Amino acid sequence: MEKLTLKEKQQINKFRGLFPDKIVVRVHRSECGKFCAEIITFPGCFTEADTFSGLIEMVNDAVKTYFEIPGKYHSFMPEYLAPVEMAQAFNAFPIIRKVEELNLINTNAGG
């Protein structure tokens, strides 16, 4: 990788300063099963993907596009991540192992 010039470092820092700490994203499933996102923080910014993880990648790409970040600086920009609870709410990844403790009732007890 090439060494960055002072001007490039300044440009990267300028672009990084545009990114808020958090963004608000409204996510839903379309009728055909795609994940769709409206990035509320940036009006008019929408994206979609086939998978939840793909949607998060597309949201990050949409934010970089919104700020017109040159491609050569993309790897230096912040990335937004979704909470695990959000992925679980959309059944975005399979449950590998689930253990439940059940209380079974004897229907003949007491009578």
**Domain segments of the chain as ranges:** 22-89
Band of pLDDT at residue 108, cut at 50, 70 and 90: confident
The H or E element that residue 58 is part of is: helix 52-66
* Residue 108 DSSP one-character state: T
Band of pLDDT at residue 98, cut at 50, 70 and 90: low
What is the DSSP code string of 7-54?
Answer: HHHHHHHHHHTTS-S---EEEEE-TTS-EEEEETTSTTEEEEESSHHH
Q: Exposure of 1 by Cβ count < 10 A (0-12 exposed, 13-18 middle, 19+ buried)?
A: exposed
pLDDT in tens, 28-39: 999 998 999 999
Q: For residue 59, what are its two tokens? A: 């949201």
CATH of domain 22-89: 3.30.160
pLDDT of 74 above 60: yes
Q: Exposure of 56 by Cβ count < 10 A (0-12 exposed, 13-18 middle, 19+ buried)?
A: buried
